Amino acid sequence: MSLAWVLTLGALLFSLGIYGVLARRNAVLVLMGIELMLNAVNVNLIAFDAWIRQGNATGQIFALFIITVAAAEVGVGLAIVLLVFRRRETINVDEVNLLKW
Footprint of another protein on this chain (CB under 8 A)?
18, 21-23, 30, 93-94, 96-101
Task: Kindly state the smallest distance separating residue 3's Cβ from another protein, in Å.
Answer: 18
Q: Which residues contact 84 (CB under 8 A, 6 or more apart)?
A: 27, 90, 91, 96
Residue 55 CA to residue 11 CA, distance in Å, equals 25
Q: Give the H/E segment covering residue 79.
A: helix 58-88
Measured from the CB atom, the residue of 53 and 100 that comes closer to another protein is 100
Residue 6 CA to residue 22 CA, distance in Å, equals 24
Task: Kindly state the smallest distance separating residue 60's Cβ from another protein, in Å.
Answer: 25
Measured from the CB atom, the residue of 9 and 84 that comes closer to another protein is 84
Task: Kindly state the smallest distance separating residue 97's Cβ from another protein, in Å.
Answer: 3
